[in-house]
Structure formats: C-alpha cells, structure tokens
Amino acid sequence: MAVTRKRILVVEDEQDIAEMIAYNLEREGFQVESAHSGEEGLSKAKADHPDLVVLDIMLPEMNGLDVCRALRSDRATQGIPIVMLTARDEEIDVVTGLEVGADDYITKPFSPKVLIARIRAVLRRRRESEESRSEFLQVGKLTMDRGKHRVMVTGKAVELTHTEFELLCVLAQRPGWVFSRSQLIDSLRDGQLVITDRAIDVQVANLRKKLGACGHYIQTVRGVGYRMTETP
C-alpha cells in the first residue's frame, strides 16, 4: 500500500524562515505548500485542505490569529490541525493562539527538529481521535451511520438537523454515560455559534420526538444532564 505524504501548508511571510521550514519538512517526507500572507494562507487552506497548517502569528494584512479564527469558524476547515509560530515572549499571543483554537504553538527561534516533532505529535493525536470516532453506532433499535449522516429507528430512516445528529452521536458514543449540559455544549461548539443550556434542552426535546419508539432512550438525569440507554 502506498503511503500518502502528509500535506503541510506553511503560512509565513519571512522568506528565510519559510524556506527553512519547507526544506526540513520536505526532507522528512512531507509535501509542502507555502503562503506568504494571512489572506493567501486562508484561501489556500480552504482550497487545498492540507493535513496541517503551520501558521505564523505576525503576518501582513490578516494576522495568524484572525486566520486561525476564520479556519475554525468554517465547517469545511475547522478540523484542520494548526501549529502556531510566535516570537519569543509573545505570551499573550500564545494564550490567544490556543484560545482561538490552535492545537499547539512553537516559539521562535526554534530548531527544525522540535517543529517536526510537534507536527508529528499533533498529527498523531488527530489520527487517534479520528479512529476513536467510529462510523457506526448502535444503541438498542437505534442505529447511526456518521459517514452517511443517517439515523435509523427500527430500520426506518429519521430526518435530523445537523445539531440534533451531532448531539445524538455524542450521547450514543458512550451509552449509559451521563453528560452534563456544559459537556454537551462543548462537544457541539461550532465556531462562533453560541449554544446555551436551554438550547440543549430544546434539542433533546426535538430529538425525543423525532426518534419516536427510541425517544425514551435519551434520559434526563435530574440536576446533572442527559444519558442515553435502551434500558429504562
């Protein structure tokens, strides 16, 4: 089986640093695309869907933090891992970088070895979390196919909204496990969209209705949140 080379997009305006990164990544077997401004980085990430983005914070036009926010708020790009580059002592940038959704950051000047180790670690974590998200889920008479975004109750397809579907998958992934509302909110967080406790309750009520014969699988745990189980 051919090993596909991981594609890395490097967004860095400083030519010598960009070249140093590209040279070292290519030597390690990665395929490298380069962008020299925030705008260019954003449009390349949207067009090419790289496996990971190395994103400098100080960039002309649109800075790295804004690029990161933009990537995270778009469903098509929100899953792309991001490693940020920051100048020494820009502690505020580091904190903000992680807040806006970067997976890791590295302080300049850095050794290529360290950067590559960080990139490999982020890619490995990403692969592990994807593998744990199994495509098919089943609880009692309820089956879900995440790949096809399809839900069946006793063999009949049920139409759900995207949020309802995601919420159902979170619950069904760990049957019997009690999720607090804030855990559910966290797992549904989507870019700028704000989800409240009340919204979770509404989604659950709609889900129960739509799931019909399996509606009672979603149980309220008073004072805590919700769990999914086929046994009453």
Query: What is the layout of strands, in order, in the sheet containing 218-221?
Result: 179-180, 225-228, 218-221
90 sits near Ca ion (criterion: CB under 5 A): no
Segment interacting with Ca ion, rule: CB under 5 A, options 18-26, 56-64, 105-113, 149-157: 56-64
Which residues make beta-bridge pairs with 219? Answer: 227
Residue type, 211: L
Q: How far is the CB of 37 from Ca ion (least distance, A)?
A: 10
Smallest distance, Ca ion to C-beta of residue 42, A: 15
Near Ca ion by CB under 5 A, which window of 58-66, 113-121, 127-135, 202-210?
Answer: 58-66
Q: Which of 195, 157, 141 is nearest to 149 (CA)?
A: 157
Q: What minimum distance in Å lies between the beta carbon of 59 and Ca ion?
A: 6
Binding of Ca ion by 93 (CB under 5 A): no
Per DSSP, 193 falls in state B
Residue 56 binding Ca ion, by CB under 5 A: yes
Cα separation, 105 vs 84, in Å, equals: 4
Give the binding range for Ca ion (CB under 5 A) out of 54-62, 111-119, 172-180, 196-204: 54-62
Smallest gap, in angstroms, from Cβ of residue 8 to Ca ion? 17
Q: Is 40 an interacting residue with respect to Ca ion (CB under 5 A)?
A: no
CA distances from 136 to 67, 172, 176, 183 (A): 34, 10, 17, 22
Stretch that binds Ca ion, among 8-16, 22-30, 88-96, 222-230 (CB under 5 A): 8-16
Which residues pair with residue 174 across a beta bridge? Answer: none
Q: Which is nearer to Ca ion, 38 or 225 (CB)?
A: 38
> Site for Ca ion (CB under 5 A): how many residues?
4
Tell me how far apart the alpha carbons of residues 162 and 179 are, in angstroms, rounded to a whole number.
Answer: 19
CA distances, 170 to each of 29, 213, 214 (Å): 36, 20, 16
Interface residues with Ca ion (CB under 5 A)? 13-14, 56, 58
